[in-house]
């Protein structure tokens, strides 16, 4: 499920780059894959419900327009809710280039919902280049809510990646899909665990160096 920020800040060249990125994901879907497109500003729009029809998905992407403020947390909640419950692996590819300015849902509530979902969030933010002034280049602060996006991704076993301005958005989209499709699915049967509620997990490598992306725990029922 692609969850795409279409607020005012995405207008122009960035919107064109965003559409190219979404189209590149559609082009790389495998025969049995299904996808959906949810766009958001201060409003949510289910541009395309989950489907395997590539033509429907492409038309939905081409029809995207940008206006309004940013309801990032509400959009993430909607994606978790629309994902439903089935036996498929689900990637929530969440793109945003700005701070949340209009959500009703709190961050703590959203994180609880994320823990209960088995979807994996890969977030894409945007890094701006330096500002040019009469005195030369100066640092330009990132506008993306990196702290929130990183926390949400890590909670679900995903991660946050950055596109370098609009020119790098398409490549970052395809990178996310390629990485997700190369992940391993591991399972285990817990022993000595009693009671319901949250149980922390810590997945580590033995005798190797590397970075492990895995969920931080699960809820016992």
Is 25:173 a contact under the CB 8 Å cutoff?
yes
Rg of the chain over all Cα atoms, to the nearest angstrom: 18
Cα–Cα dist 85/219, whole Å: 15
Cα 176 from chain centroid (whole Å):
9
Q: CA dihedral defined by 96, 119, 179, 152, rounded to 10 degrees?
A: 40
pLDDT at 132: 47
CATH of the domain at 112: 3.40.50.410
Helices 146-155 + 72-83 axis angle, to 10: 20
Is 50:95 a contact under the CB 8 Å cutoff?
no
Cα–Cα dist 55/100, whole Å: 31
Cα–Cα dist 37/22, whole Å: 9
Rounded mean pLDDT of 65-89?
A: 88
How sure is the predictor about 167, in pLDDT bands with cuts at 50, 70 and 90? confident
Tell me if 36 is assigned to some domain. yes
Average pLDDT of the residues of the chain: 88
Tell me if 55 is assigned to some domain. yes
Tell me if 201 is assigned to some domain. no
Tell me if 150 is assigned to some domain. yes
pLDDT at 116: 87
Tell me if 195 is assigned to some domain. no
Is 143:99 a contact under the CB 8 Å cutoff?
yes
Write down the H helix ranges in 84-166.
107-116, 146-155
For the segment 93-144, what is each residue's pLDDT rounded down to a tens digit? 999 988 899 999 999 999 999 988 889 999 999 887 554 445 554 445 555 6
Rounded mean pLDDT of 60-70?
A: 97
Tell me if 221 is assigned to some domain. no
For the segment 6-26, what is each residue's pLDDT rounded down to a tens digit? 999 999 999 999 999 999 999
Tell me if 209 is assigned to some domain. no
Is 123:146 a contact under the CB 8 Å cutoff?
no
Is 124:173 a contact under the CB 8 Å cutoff?
yes
Do β-strands 120-127 and 160-164 pair in parallel, antiparallel, or remain unpaired? parallel
Q: What is the tally of structural domains in the chain?
A: 1
Structure tokens at 99: 């701070």
Domain of residue 108: give its range. 2-184
pLDDT at 138: 46
Tell me if 213 is assigned to some domain. no
């Amino acid at each position: 499920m692609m969850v795409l920020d279409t607020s005012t800040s995405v207008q122009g060249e960035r919107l064109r780059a965003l559409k190219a990125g979404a189209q590149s994901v559609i082009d790389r879907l495998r025969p049995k894959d299904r996808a959906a497109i949810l766009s958001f500003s201060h409003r949510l729009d289910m541009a395309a419900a989950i489907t395997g029809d590539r033509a429907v998905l492409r038309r939905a992407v081409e029809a995207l327009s940008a206006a309004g403020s940013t309801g990032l947390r509400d959009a993430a909640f909607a994606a978790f809710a629309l994902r439903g419950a089935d036996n498929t692996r689900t990637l929530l590819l969440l793109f945003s280039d700005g701070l949340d300015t209009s959500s009703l849902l709190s961050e703590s509530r959203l994180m609880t919902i994320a823990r209960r979902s088995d979807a994996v969030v890969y977030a894409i933010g945007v890094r701006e280049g330096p500002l040019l002034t009469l005195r030369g280049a100066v640092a330009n602060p990132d506008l993306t809510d990196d702290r929130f996006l990183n926390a949400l991704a890590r909670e679900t076993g995903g991660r946050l990646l950055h596109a370098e301005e609009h020119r790098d958005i398409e490549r970052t989209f395809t990178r996310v899909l390629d990485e997700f499709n190369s992940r391993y699915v591991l399972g285990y049967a817990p022993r000595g665990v009693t009671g319901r509620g949250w149980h922390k997990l810590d997945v580590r490598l033995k005798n190797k160096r590397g970075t492990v992306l895995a969920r931080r725990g699960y809820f016992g029922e």
